[in-house]
Amino acid sequence: MVQIKGATIKEAVTQIKTHAGDQAFQKILALLDEDTRKMFEGEIIASTWYPLDNYARFLEVEVRVLANGREEVVTRGAEVANERSLRGIYKAFVKVGSPEYVMERIAAVHTTYFQGVSVDVQLPEPRKALIKYTGFEKQHRIMGFAIIGFFNKALELSGANDAVIYFTTPIEEGRGYAELSIAWS
């Protein structure tokens, strides 16, 4: 079972309550299945692992309720959350002027967010990377938007320009792996 760190979940809940209010959060909870709702109604502990299936369902409902189904808002939300992390505790992973260094360190950062997912980083040529995720399942597809946001912000903070980031093999294809292509100038 793929799991996600509670810190990520806490950040999502905090963002919703801060920007949309507790009433919006309660509306999202009301639309969740019982198992997922119970998880979000309870205390979320930052250092505990939680089922990624539940978090993905939560994000999908959040997008329907707060963003009229526009899933790309997950990318922007991930950029905001990741900027705080990458300027804070993980600032050592973002080295200005070295996007390649950032790509090489991503696997280390992602192991702190995901359990049951492996990350393989390849740098086939200058200013290009291929990132292969193994472990995500079809129902985790919304995480692709967050992953793109993470890389976009990490590249921006490291001094890269004109980043082009997309999944050549999307999570929702259910192949047992997903592959992300990244290029920058």
Residue 107 has a CB neighbour count (10 Å cut-off) of 14
Is 82 part of any domain?
A: no
The token pair at 28 is 């999202």
Q: How confident is the model at residue 86 (pLDDT cuts 50, 70, 90)?
A: low
Is 107 part of any domain?
A: yes
- Pair (98, 163) in one structural domain: yes
- Pair (117, 161) in one structural domain: yes
Q: What is the pLDDT of residue 99?
A: 85
What percent of the chain has pLDDT above 90?
70
Query: DSSP 3-state helix, strand, coil percentages of the chain (rounded to 5)?
Result: 55, 20, 30
Between 99 and 51, name the one with better pLDDT. Answer: 51
CATH number of the domain that 109 lies in?
3.90.1520.10
- Pair (98, 62) in one structural domain: no
Is 98 part of any domain?
A: yes
Q: How many domains does the chain have?
A: 2
Do the Cβ atoms of 158 and 86 come closer than 8 Å?
A: no
Q: Give mean pLDDT, residues 120-128.
A: 93
Q: How confident is the model at residue 80 (pLDDT cuts 50, 70, 90)?
A: confident
Is 81 part of any domain?
A: no
Note down the domain range covering 12: 3-66
Q: What is the pLDDT of residue 93?
A: 58
